């Protein structure tokens, strides 16, 4: 088998619907123009994210098999790395030699890579190679990863943007009704909002906890919008809500800071969605920075690297709850003994009503995004990764 072509399609972040306009605390909250605490500045995130939402890579072979992979963000630079560097390395090679191709790509991009865009690009190509391998074997990818260790994949509802407190309460109840036993909300404020902001952050958690009662696990995401000092104060303040985890309290590069917050916090601390490769995640583990590791298959280096990270995390007794429950991620969770659940981004009822049922919220470019029933996603059964592109949507949202 031989790779004959590699194509990339840049897809507008419009394909994510209004998701990016929902209020939440982000790494950019420090600056007024990029802050959207209550929905009144809906353009805030689009201003710094750039126009590209996804980069779709398709790898053609000398058979009728084509592999599909995806990476996100980075305004087209990911596509450039694939088009100008990675495609030249893989065309003419055997797509089933994934370990060799991964290393070729990693070594060739190292002078400008290691973290960020180059690894995003490798992630998309690697995932497409796994898709080819699964299709060639006529098996879902988890069968190639050692076989499933679970019959279905538990997932948690990840949304609960603080649009307003009544909506937050209703949305939390909606997820309980739909059978989710874990859910994650977003904070509004970082240190720039002072004590009043701390109070309001606490009100978000209190609202959700009061709505769902004691039997549901609740987590919250700070998207790197806090400092170490603030995170230590805020986590202490939230002790009585018995949270399942607090996510990304500080900047991804501040690994010592993570460890300091983790040491002080009464609840588990999670992170890793903005970390890259096994080397980056090894740092998080060795420095005891997190209680839960959250690698993203589109950022860490693809399915190959995710599997290595999950296995490494197991030796530290640290569970892996990957960022974003995309189709490739599900295979990894299915085949890993220490990946208890997937992240799932539900479309809340209030948003559907706003859209008259015509929602393009996330995953619009795929025919078959993961869909849970009673908080569980069935194991994918189609060969490969099982992410079927919706050609019409892809064309509609394609850039250039």
Question: Would you name the residues annotated as active-site residues?
Answer: 323
- Interface with Mg ion (CB under 5 A), residue total 2
What is 89-155 written as a DSSP string?
Answer: HHTTS-TT-HHHHHHHHHHHHTTT-SSSHHHHHHHHHHHHHHHHHHHHHTSBHHHHTT--SSSEEEE
- SS3 state at 261: helix
- When asked if residue 275 is in the footprint of Mg ion (CB under 5 A), the reply is no
**Nearest distance, CB of residue 15 and Mg ion, angstroms:** 20
Q: In the complex with Mg ion, which residue's Cβ is closer, 131 or 221?
A: 221
Q: In the complex with Mg ion, which residue's Cβ is closer, 272 or 369?
A: 272
Of residues 339, 317, 217, 324, the one with CA closest to residue 274: 324
Q: Of 24-43, which residues contact Mg ion (CB under 5 A)?
A: none
**Nearest distance, CB of residue 225 and Mg ion, angstroms:** 11
Q: In the complex with Mg ion, which residue's Cβ is closer, 171 or 247?
A: 247
What secondary structure letter does DSSP report for 379? P
* Tokens encoding 383: 């060969």
Q: In the complex with Mg ion, which residue's Cβ is closer, 119 or 292?
A: 292
Q: In the complex with Mg ion, which residue's Cβ is closer, 249 or 328?
A: 249
What is 305-368 written as a DSSP string?
Answer: HHHHHHHHHHHTT--B--SS--HHHHHHHHH-TT---EEE----HHHHHHTTT----S-TTBSS
Q: In the complex with Mg ion, which residue's Cβ is closer, 131 or 247?
A: 247
Between CA 140 and CA 293, with CA 58 as vertex, the angle to 5 degrees is 60
**Nearest distance, CB of residue 324 and Mg ion, angstroms:** 8
CA end-to-end span of the chain, whole Å? 32
Residue nearest to Mg ion (CB): 221
- When asked if residue 221 is in the footprint of Mg ion (CB under 5 A), the reply is yes
Q: Of 318-337, which residues contact Mg ion (CB under 5 A)?
A: none
**Nearest distance, CB of residue 214 and Mg ion, angstroms:** 24
CA dist., res. 278 & res. 255, Å (int): 15
Q: In the complex with Mg ion, which residue's Cβ is closer, 135 or 186?
A: 186
* Tokens encoding 125: 């190509």
Of residues 178, 133, 141, 143, the one with CA closest to residue 157: 178
Whole-number Cα distances in Å, 195 to 156, 233, 234, 350, 375: 30, 10, 10, 30, 36
Q: In the complex with Mg ion, which residue's Cβ is closer, 174 or 221?
A: 221
Candidates 145-153, 172-180, 221-229, 333-341 — which segment interacts with Mg ion by CB under 5 A? 221-229
Of residues 234, 213, 185, the one with CA closest to residue 348: 185
Q: Of 232-251, which residues contact Mg ion (CB under 5 A)?
A: 247
**Nearest distance, CB of residue 390 and Mg ion, angstroms:** 26
The rounded Cα 51 to chain-centroid distance in angstroms is 19
**Nearest distance, CB of residue 321 and Mg ion, angstroms:** 10
CA dist., res. 102 & res. 297, Å (int): 14
**Nearest distance, CB of residue 62 and Mg ion, angstroms:** 40
The answer to whether the beta carbons of residues 131 and 96 sit under 8 Å apart is no
The answer to whether the beta carbons of residues 299 and 324 sit under 8 Å apart is no
CA dist., res. 300 & res. 102, Å (int): 12
**Nearest distance, CB of residue 40 and Mg ion, angstroms:** 23
How many Cα atoms sit within 13 Å of 347 on the Cβ side? 20
Q: Which residues sit at the interface with Mg ion, rule CB under 5 A? A: 221, 247
């Amino acid at each position: 088998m031989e790779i004959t072509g590699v194509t990339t399609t840049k897809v507008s972040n419009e394909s994510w619907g209004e998701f990016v306009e929902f209020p939440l605390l982000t790494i950019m909250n420090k600056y007024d123009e990029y802050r959207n605490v209550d929905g009144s500045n809906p353009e805030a995130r689009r201003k710094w994210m750039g126009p590209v939402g996804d980069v779709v890579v398709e790898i053609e072979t000398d058979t009728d098999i084509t592999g599909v992979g995806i990476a996100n963000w980075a305004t087209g630079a990911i596509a450039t790395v694939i088009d100008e560097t990675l495609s030249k390395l893989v065309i003419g090679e055997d797509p089933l030699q994934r370990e060799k191709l991964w290393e070729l790509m990693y070594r060739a991009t190292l002078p400008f890579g290691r973290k960020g865009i180059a690894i995003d690009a490798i992630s998309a190509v690697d995932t497409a190679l796994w898709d080819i391998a699964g299709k060639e074997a006529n098996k879902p990818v988890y069968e190639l990863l050692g076989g499933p260790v679970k019959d279905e994949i538990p997932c948690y509802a990840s949304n609960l943007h603080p649009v307003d407190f009544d909506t937050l309460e209703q949305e939390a109840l909606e997820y309980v009704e739909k059978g989710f036993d874990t859910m994650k909300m977003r904070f509004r404020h970082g240190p720039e909002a002072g004590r009043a902001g701390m109070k309001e952050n606490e009100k978000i958690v209190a609202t959700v906890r009061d709505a769902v009662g004691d039997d549901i696990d609740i987590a919250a995401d700070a998207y790197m919008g806090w400092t170490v000092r603030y995170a230590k104060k805020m986590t202490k303040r939230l002790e009585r809500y018995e949270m399942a985890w607090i996510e990304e309290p500080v900047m991804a590069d501040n690994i010592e800071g993570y460890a300091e917050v983790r040491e002080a916090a009464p609840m588990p601390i999670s992170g890793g969605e903005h970390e890259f490769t096994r080397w980056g995640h090894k740092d998080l583990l060795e420095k005891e920075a997190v209680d839960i590791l959250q690698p993203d298959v589109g950022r860490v280096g693809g399915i190959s690297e995710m599997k290595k990270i999950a296995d490494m995390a197991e030796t530290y007794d640290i569970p892996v709850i990957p960022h974003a429950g995309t189709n490739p991620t599900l295979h990894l969770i299915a085949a890993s003994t220490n990946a208890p659940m997937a992240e799932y981004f539900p479309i809340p009822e209030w948003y559907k009503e706003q859209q008259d049922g015509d929602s393009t919220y996330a995953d619009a470019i795929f025919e078959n995004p993961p869909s849970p029933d009673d908080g569980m996603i069935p194991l994918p059964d189609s060969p490969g990764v099982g992410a079927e592109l919706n050609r019409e949507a892809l064309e509609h949202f394609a850039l250039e």
